[in-house]
């Protein structure tokens, strides 16, 4: 996978307006393709959720899961959102979430949990290929998600206001309201994704991604990353786990990173990645952006600092003690 560390231009650059237009066009094409993929994921999920709701299956699941969900101050239906996010991705989880009645606090707590532990099958495989055992990443991300849910459910203030979507807008209008509410949610998400893709391509064209990553070096060190791994962690933090893990794989092949550095970076990215896109799409459906960005970043950094020594000993045995002393 190529690094997002791109050059700011060539010796014979086209005119400025042309570069803006061409990079914007590339971003638009990428954004439209991504948005279409997300719609193909979300529409079937929405149909299945509403079918489960109409047949009483969702109510039965909610009743069964209610005791466990109370730990996180979430309704029983939230179990389906969390499970969908863990096994599929955040967009499928959102498709479920916008079809159940949730307060703004519940949406925020659930968003934080899903943003830590989502798409576990695919992302765990990627991180395993990047050098960290799958069991370590699964246990780390699932335990972090549950712990975050316990903590944030108790510290985020509750205004009691409902997040308004689909059936919660006006139950009397039935399927018309369901379709309208879900269409609005998908349009919001599509616009965010397309805008981000355009912005990223323009930043790449003018070398601004380089500058952004350089600016992130000092804070990444404060979050526990060393000089060598801070750039890779910053890439994953902004652009997503696939980019970060891809760079880790490249660095591991070149033997630039040690096994311990790969472990620490993968665990950091497991709880903190794609902070812009993923956070914005949850904010678009009612989650509090400040909590899901800063709250998750602070929690994830503390969690990783506390758990990496344990993971070292698990992966490396007695050698893990040497890493801690080093």
In a domain, 6, yes or no: no
Q: Over its length of 326 residues, how does the chain's per-residue pLDDT go in tens digits?
A: 444 444 444 446 789 999 999 999 999 998 999 889 888 888 898 888 888 888 988 889 889 999 999 999 999 999 999 999 999 899 999 999 988 889 999 999 999 999 999 999 989 999 998 889 999 999 999 999 999 999 999 999 998 888 866 544 444 456 677 788 788 888 988 999 899 889 988 988 998 877 887 887 788 777 767 777 888 888 899 888 877 888 888 877 778 888 888 999 999 999 999 999 999 999 999 999 999 999 999 999 999 999 999 999 998 875 555 545 55
Find the domain containing 320 and state its range.
16-325
* Residue 237: closest CA among 193, 188, 311, 294: 294
Residue 11 lies in a domain: no
Burial of 171 (0-12, 13-18, 19+ CB in 10 A): exposed
Residue 195 lies in a domain: yes
In a domain, 30, yes or no: yes
Q: Is residue 183 part of a domain?
A: yes
| Residue 3 domain flag | no
Coil/strand/helix, residue 163? strand
For residue 9, tell me if it sits in a domain: no
Q: Is residue 4 part of a domain?
A: no
Residues in contact with 235: Cβ distance below 8 Å, sequence separation at least 6, in sequence order: 3, 4, 213, 243, 244, 247
CA 43 to chain centre: 20
Rg (CA), the chain: 21
E strands in 53-184: 102-103, 162-163
Phi, psi angle pair for 283, to nearest 5° = -65, -35
pLDDT of residue 196: 86
pTM, full prediction: 0.84
Structural domain count of the chain: 1
């Amino acid at each position: 996978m190529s690094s997002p560390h791109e050059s700011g231009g060539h010796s014979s650059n086209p005119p400025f307006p042309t570069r803006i237009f061409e990079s914007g066009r590339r971003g638009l094409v990428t954004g439209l393709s991504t948005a279409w993929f997300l719609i193909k994921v979300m529409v079937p999920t929405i149909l299945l959720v509403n079918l489960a709701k109409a047949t009483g299956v969702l109510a039965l699941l909610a009743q069964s899961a209610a005791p466990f969900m109370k730990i996180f101050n979430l309704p029983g239906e939230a179990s389906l959102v969390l499970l969908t996010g863990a096994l599929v991705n955040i967009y499928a989880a959102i498709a479920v979430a916008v079809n159940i009645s949730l307060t703004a606090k519940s949406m925020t707590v659930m968003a934080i949990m899903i943003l830590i532990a989502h798409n576990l099958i695919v992302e765990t495989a990627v991180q395993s290929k990047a050098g960290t055992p799958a069991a370590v990443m699964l246990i780390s991300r699932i335990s972090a998600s549950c712990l975050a849910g316990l903590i944030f459910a108790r510290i985020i203030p509750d205004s009691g206001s409902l997040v308004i979507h689909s059936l919660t807008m006006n139950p009397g209008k039935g399927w018309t309201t369901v379709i309208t509410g879900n269409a609005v949610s998908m349009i919001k998400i599509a616009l965010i994704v397309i805008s981000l893709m355009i912005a990223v391509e323009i930043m790449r064209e003018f070398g601004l991604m380089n500058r952004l990553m350089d600016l992130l070096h000092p804070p990444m060190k404060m979050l526990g990353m060393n000089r060598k791994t801070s750039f890779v962690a910053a890439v994953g933090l902004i652009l997503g786990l696939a980019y970060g893990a891809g760079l880790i794989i490249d660095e591991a092949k070149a033997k630039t990173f040690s096994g311990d550095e790969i472990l620490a970076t993968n665990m950091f990215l497991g709880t903190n990645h794609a902070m812009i896109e993923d956070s914005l799409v949850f904010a678009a459906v009612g989650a509090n952006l400040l909590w899901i960005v800063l709250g998750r970043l602070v929690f994830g950094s503390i969690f990783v600092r506390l758990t990496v020594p344990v993971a070292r000993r698990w992966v490396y045995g007695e050698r893990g003690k040497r890493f801690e002393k080093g």
